Amino acid sequence: MSGRRHVIVTGGSRGLGAAMIEGLLADGYRVSTCSRSKSAAIDKLSDLGGDDFFWQSAQVGEADQVDAFVKAAGEWAGEDGIYGLVNNAGVARTGILASFPNIESEKLIQINLIGAIQMARACSPYLLKREDGGRIINISSIIGARGYNGMSAYSASKAGMDGLTRALARELGRRQITVNSVSPGYVATEMSSTLTPPQMMQIVNRTPLGRLATEQDVFELVRFLLSDKAASITGQVILVDGGISC
């Protein structure tokens, strides 16, 4: 098993996370993920990945659980260590801030931002041990840069992730560890399924490419950033939004 690249992808129990893990397994990576509980997607990935897939229950945003998961994933990988981290776990809630419960804002920040910081901190010692560098990829959102009505807390959490990307790229760059944000617009996943048909049509009409991005669109960029071809790209926030931010 030695010599294989091992990537941690958080939030792999559904949607984009599960799609990225499936793609990485097909590319020959070993992959670890965590979620609060198992899901049908985790069972499928376990069947697909076999000995190259590891799952453990953990709540991103809870430091003790994050540390325990990363330690277990590192031990599972053995000599392969940890090559990459994809901070994908996140939640989205909408509501005008004046009436948005504080507990919901705190949950968003705790999972989306604090959780990403915790994961990067826990993985960094493994990455720093490597002689061939490593990768951290934060799955952000165009909402972090542009903002939308009813998404103040969510926007703040994603803007924070982009700040983390830029600062951490400076901290880790001398060890050839790159840190980037992948910033999707609306993606055709479960999270966008709550949009009404008129809302969906409005977004599509405002998008130069005339369609929502797909999970595969996002994964292709993640795949590239994990590769040796992206060794000189760091500290960047890269949009995958069909041009809606133009």
How big is the CA angle at 121 (ends 119 and 126), to the nearest 5 degrees?
A: 95
How big is the CA angle at 128 (ends 138 and 51), to the nearest 5 degrees?
A: 70
Quickly tell me which residue has 């969510």 as its tokens.
Answer: 154
The two beta strands, 237-240 and 84-87, are unpaired
Q: Which secondary structure element, helix H or strand E, spans residue 21, and what is its range?
A: helix 15-26
Q: Which secondary structure element, helix H or strand E, spans residue 239, and what is its range?
A: strand 237-240
Nearest to 228 by CA among 169, 182, 178, 183: 178
Question: Number of C-alpha atoms within 13 angstroms, CB side, residue 235?
Answer: 11
The answer to whether 154 is a known catalytic residue is yes
Selected catalytic residue, list 29, 83, 126, 154: 154
How far is residue 192 from each of residues 131, 177, 200, measured CA to CA in Å?
40, 32, 8
Tokens of 35: 């979620």
Active-site residue list? 154
